[in-house]
Amino acid sequence: MKSKIAEAFDNCRKEKRPALITYTVAGDNTKNNSLKILNRISKYADILELGFAHNTPIADGGQIQGSSHRALKNGIRLKDVFQIVKKFKKNNSDKPIILMGYYNLIYQNGENNFLKSCKSSGVDGLIIVDLPYPENKSFASKCKKKKINFIQLLSPTTSRERMKKIIKVSHDMIYYISMLSTTGGKLKVTPKKILQNYNMIKRINSKKNLVIGFGITDKTISSLKSANGLVVGSMLCKTITNSLKMGQNPVTKLDKVVYNLKKKII
Amino acid sequence: MLEEPVLDRLWGIPGAGYAGKMLSMAAKKFGLKCKIFMGAKDIKRQRPNVEAMRKNGAEIVPVTTGSQTLVDAVSECMRYWVSNCDTTHMCVGSTVGPNIFIKICAFSTAQISRELIKQVKEEFGQIPKKLKLINCVGGGSSAAGFWNEFMDTHAEFIGVEAGGPRNSKLHAAPLTNGSKIGILHGAAQYVIQDKEGQIGSTESISAGLDYPGISPLHCFLKDTKRARYTSATDEEALKAYQLVSKLENISPSLEPSHAFAEAIKLAPKLRSSEVIVVNSCGDSLKDKDIIKQKLGSYVR
């Protein structure tokens, strides 16, 4: 049976457009609001990434750091993250959810225990930022056995030889980091250059679903739409920050922003 | 996929500022741009070192997130490096971070023990039967360097962590207090954390020891029982600083004062044939503001 993530890509392929993948942090700005946000933006997004906050997020830029900080300040815990997923999945069982975070939380929770919670709440995939290949081999194969996608990361500094190895062990989705940056950096490479690298990776294995993330906003998203999928994260976190500053409802604001993103890639 | 990189910048992260001082000197000598990441709290409390770095032309980047100390500076420096690794070298002045940075740092500081083993042999004709090498441990760089050449000898290694202020629970002493293994800054290590895996805050009078993790290298030495670890409180370190400055012709900074505190504790129990060497790995001048605040005056 195909995974929900693979199905989401198939559907987008039929519609000749990239998958829109959003990233928000569980518990930002409250547990309730983050669930409401998922419910609203899932109308437009094909895959939802949900961050579980860590207080030492070394790969994240200012925007996502801010969101993680808000979530932790609100007392978000791993069990709340799974609760949010479970509640979301009740009404949206076909919409894939990917949890994204740092390995220490999984390590302290216990890998098996963590995967059990993923399974029972309906998590479809995992992106673990600080668990690179080959250190992730054992955990990634545990995920595969549980039919949870472990999403490998590639970057502009990944050598071709290493890419081949990583692609070989990858599951249904691979994440290409567009440039040398933390999350939310300004796009400092041209979309043309990013797509050049993207196509080079696709030539290694054209069947794998390859998505591009980091630095993608409403201004750049349409120029990258030949990719299998595009991830927007920091822009959404920034939207929450700004709407809180202005005393606006982050849920409705985000709904609009994601709707506009979707319009740009159809 | 990258074009051949031109590495013309050095970015570093010192805790107390020594490594930053040295790095800024190296950068000046070789005409490289140099950025130093320090916690805003550390910039304030290690002013003399910061001034020295500025004089050498380094740009100091204050890190204002989290506890504004070493842990946040390492995170921020890593973020910058990830974003600029095509033009920039990252230098870590502690034996922390991903594998290679630990090796580079420990290799560099090993010069201390290369000299020490020579001096010990000159002084005693051989390595004394009972020899204790005492060093403070925070980021772990000076202890690693102090012990390296003695690794295959019978010398006893004692590492002294920062016990923090008396009655405080925020010790920077993961080895002494039996913290669990966790992943911080790209390495598995004993680290102060809560049950969920969120990294805990620490508090220490010495900026160089104020870090929730501990070098994986020292975790290994602890697990294999090659070294033993203990801690000294802020108060004990201050007392040791006062005593050593009064009696000896040196004035240790607050980091090695932790090691001196342990030597002072141990010495009365030892025979005269037993030898203790303490690494006085820093000068008190950089801590003059803290010492003035805690003891009322600073005399050098």
What's the pLDDT at B8? Answer: 63
Residue B153 located in a structural domain: yes
Asked if the C-beta of A266 comes within 8 angstroms of chain B's C-beta atoms, the answer is no
Q: Indicate the domain borders of chain A.
A: 4-265
* ipTM, two decimals: 0.94
Render pLDDT for B129-179 as a digit per residue (tens, 0 to 9).
Answer: 999 999 999 889 999 999 999 999 999 999 999 999 988 877 889 999 889
Q: What is the pTM of this model?
A: 0.92
Q: Which of B45, B51, B77 shows the shortest CA–CA distance to B63?
A: B77
Q: Domain holding B138: CATH number? A: 3.40.50.1100
- For residues B93 and B85, give the distance between their C-alpha atoms in angstroms, rounded to a whole number: 18
- Domain identity same for B123 and B269: yes
Q: Looking at residue B68, what is its pLDDT?
A: 87
pLDDT of residue B265: 97
B145 and B229 in a single domain? The answer is: yes
**Based on the domain organization, do B115 and B259 belong to the same domain?**
yes
Residue-by-residue DSSP string for B238-273? HHHHHHHHHHSS--B-HHHHHHHHHHHHHGGGS-TT
Q: B59 with B184, same domain? A: no
Give the C-alpha separation, A101 to A130, whole Å. 8
Q: How far apart are the first and last CA of chain A?
A: 28
Which residues 214-243 of chain B have a CB within 8 Å of chain A? Answer: none
**Are B191 and B157 part of one and the same domain?**
yes
Pair (B41, B136) in one structural domain: no
**Domain shared by B145 and B282, yes or no:** yes
Distance from C-alpha of B139 to C-alpha of B17, rounded to nearest angstrom: 12
Q: Which CATH class is domain A4-265?
A: alpha beta
pLDDT of residue A1: 85
Burial of B235 (0-12, 13-18, 19+ CB in 10 A): middle
| Dihedral pair phi/psi, residue B85, rounded to 5° | -70, -5
The answer to whether residues B130 and B48 belong to one domain is no
B169-182 pLDDT, tens digit each: 778 899 998 899 99
Say if residue B164 is in the same domain as residue B272. Answer: yes
Q: How many folded domains does chain B comprise?
A: 2
Residue of B nearest to A104 (CA): B183
d(C-alpha A178, C-alpha B194), whole Å: 34
CB contact under 8 A, B82 and A61: no
Choice between A26 and B209, residue whose per-residue pLDDT is larger: A26
- B233 and B144 both lie in a single domain: yes
Give the range of the structural domain holding residue B265, as residue numbers without chain letter: 110-295
The identity of residue A21, as a single letter, is I
- Residue A231 pLDDT class (50, 70, 90 cuts): very high
Spatial distance between the Cα atoms of B285 and A261, rounded to a whole number of angstroms: 56
Mean local confidence (pLDDT), B286-293:
92
Quick check: B49 contacting A, CB < 8 Å? Answer: no
User: Between the CA of residue B226 and those of A262, B158, B278, what are the distances in Å?
Assistant: 59, 9, 18
Same domain for B265 and B207? Answer: yes
DSSP one-letter string for B200-247: PP---S-GGG--SB--HHHHHHHHTTSEEEEEE-HHHHHHHHHHHHHH
Measure the CA–CA gap between B107 and B97, rounded to whole angstroms. Answer: 15
With beta carbons under 8 A apart, name residues in chain A contacting B199. Answer: 55-56, 104
- Over residues A63-83, the mean pLDDT reads 96
Residue B148 belongs to a domain = yes
B84 in A contact zone (CB under 8 Å): yes
- A78 → closest Cβ in B180, B183, B196: B196
Q: Say if residue A87 is exposed, middle or buried (CB neighbours under 10 Å; 0-12, 13-18, 19+).
A: middle
Residue A185, chain B, CB below 8 Å: the answer is: yes
Q: Which residue has the higher pLDDT, A171 or B208?
A: A171
| B128 and B275 co-located in one domain | yes
Tell me how far apart the alpha carbons of residues B297 and B114 are, in angstroms, rounded to a whole number: 37
Task: Give kind and range of the element (H or E) at residue A254.
Answer: helix A250-265
Size of interface A-B (CB pairs under 8 A): 73
